[in-house]
Structure 1
Amino acid sequence: MTKLEKLTELSQGDYTAFLYDCDGTLADNMQAHKDTYVQVAANCGVQIDEAIIDEFAGLPILRVVEEINKRYGCSLDPVSFDKQKYDLYYREYIQHIRPVEFVTEHLKAHAGKVKIGVVSGGSREAIERTLTILGIRDLVEVLICAGETDRGKPYPDPFLAAADKLGAEPGGCLVFEDGDAGVRAAEAAGMDWIRIDKVEAI
């Protein structure tokens, strides 16, 4: 059984909407994000371990920078860091994004059968461009990004906003995530979830 077949099996049920995370779930770009975090921090005189990005995967960049400041006792400016990171990401990384094939194929196979949303801690500009590069933007009916709800992941707000815009009940939504923050947000929203990084071929 391939990963796509396994994911299809795991996602069977009476669901009206599938809500996908983007970075690390649809897009195989987490290493690029780690590299840009490390490089921008180094440019600011702070050496960080890229493992902290895994730890806080799914949080908006501003929140991740706050966590870096706490962990490393530094005072990086979150807004400036955000801009520098995205400038670097757009300049050197985004055009090389590749899909997480079994997840993007899963989305394509279910578009038109269930409602499709993408819920991300990234900026709308970055996620719009990422989904376009992956060739799936036109299949996504609702997109919720960083700063578009009062609270981001791990709070339920982004997933609840997506469900509301799709006209779906939270209990009828299935979330696809690769980060702890996203899983906690899905649980808080009363939604079922699948950790796509735990899906293995059989």
Structure 2
Amino acid sequence: MRTIAIPIPEGVKGLIFDLDGTILDSMPLHYDGYNHALAAYGVHYPEDVFHSRGGIPTRDTLLMIAEDFEIKNFDVDQALETKRTFVESNLERIQLILPVFDIVKAYHGVLPMAVGTGSNRKVVTEMFERFRLGDYISHVVTATEVTHFKPHPETFIKCAEMIGIQPEDCVVFEDGKPGMQAAVAAGMKVVDVTKYL
């Protein structure tokens, strides 16, 4: 097995992973999906803003964009469906992020693990099946199961409850600022995977 390139903080008892941009290299596809959906409104979503909102559910992000650009008569449901169709038609573009997946494989059966993501349950189920992530991780919290999204800590608190580990004994692997803020708010350690990719 490859050497693990991303350090694990000392003394942690549970591992929690974001999905998009952390385990899966899916962010470029999602970014293109937003711009595909926004083309009808003559809007181009800036890439830096997109990355600053990583982990926020798509509907909420689209509403933020509509406010940012003062889009009149914005049909969020139509934009949501257009983006979803685009992403689902291009799933072959998504690949595993191997340095993070190495951690998942190395700690499978060693420490309890969970995924906490801002994606909805349907998309997450498809990704778990496509990459056989369920062979390694059985505990998953999606946007479908929470009331408050990242940067609120609810997603990661639920992950800790699922794996039976106290928040202060968990480490979260994240690529997005809202997710990192959520981990800190939950009282967990956090590893910014972008520093190692």
**Displacement of 1:63:** 1.4
Q: Does 1:86 align with 2:98?
A: no
Comparing 63-72 with 25-34, which one deviates more in the overlay? Answer: 63-72
Stretches of 4+ moved more than 6 A in 1? Answer: none
CA distance in 2, matches of 1:78, 1:175: 31
What is the aligned partner in structure 1 of residue 154 from structure 2? Answer: 157
Contact 2:41 2:71 (C-alpha < 8 Å) held by counterparts: no
Query: Are 1:36 and 2:33 counterparts?
Result: yes
Would the aligned equivalents of 1:19 and 1:176 in 2 still touch at CA under 8 Å? yes
- Give the whole-Å Cα distance in 2 for the aligned partners of 1:85 and 1:63: 13
Query: What is the CA distance between 1:195 and its match in structure 2?
Result: 0.3
After superposition, residues 10-49 of structure 1 pair within 5 angstroms as 10-49=7-46
SS at match of 1:24: coil
Gaps of 5+ in 2: none
Q: Output the CA distance in 2 between the equivalents of 1:12 and 1:186.
A: 14
Partner of 2:143, secondary structure, is coil
Counterpart code for 1:29? S
Q: CA contact under 8 A between 1:97 and 1:130: conserved in structure 2?
A: no
Specify the alignment match of 1:129 in structure 2: 126
Alignment deviations for residues 143-202 of structure 1 (CA, whole Å, 9 cap, x no partner): 1111311101000000001111111110111100000000000000000000000126xx
What's the secondary structure of 1:6's corresponding residue?
coil
Unaligned runs of 5+ in 1: none
Pair 1:73-2:70 in alignment: yes
- 1:168/1:77 CA distance change after superposition, 3 Å: farther
* Cα shift readout 1:100-143 (whole Å, capped 9, x = no counterpart): 11101111110111111001101111112123222322211211
- CA distance in structure 2 between the aligned counterparts of 1:172 and 1:162, rounded to whole angstroms: 12
Range with greater deviation from structure 2 (79-88 or 54-63)? 79-88
Aligned counterparts of 2:71 and 2:148: Cα–Cα separation in 1: 24
- What secondary structure, in the 3-state scheme, does the structure 2 residue paired with 1:88 have? helix
CA separation in 1, counterparts of 2:18 and 2:132? Answer: 16
What secondary structure, in the 3-state scheme, does the structure 1 residue paired with 2:84 have? helix
1:178 is the counterpart of 2:165:
no
Q: Determine if contact 2:15/2:114 at 8 Å carries over to the other structure.
A: yes
1:102 corresponds to 2:99: yes
**Of 139-148 and 21-30, the range deviating more from structure 2:** 139-148
Q: Give the CA deviation at 1:37.
A: 0.4
CA distance in 2, matches of 1:45, 1:64: 17
Moved more, 130-139 or 34-43: 130-139
Matched, 1:115 2:112: yes
1:44 CA displacement: 4.0
Note the 1:134-149 alignment, pairs <5 A.
134-149=131-146
Per the alignment, residue 56 of structure 1 pairs with: 53
Q: Does 1:5 pair with 2:4?
A: yes
SS of the equivalent of 2:25 reads coil
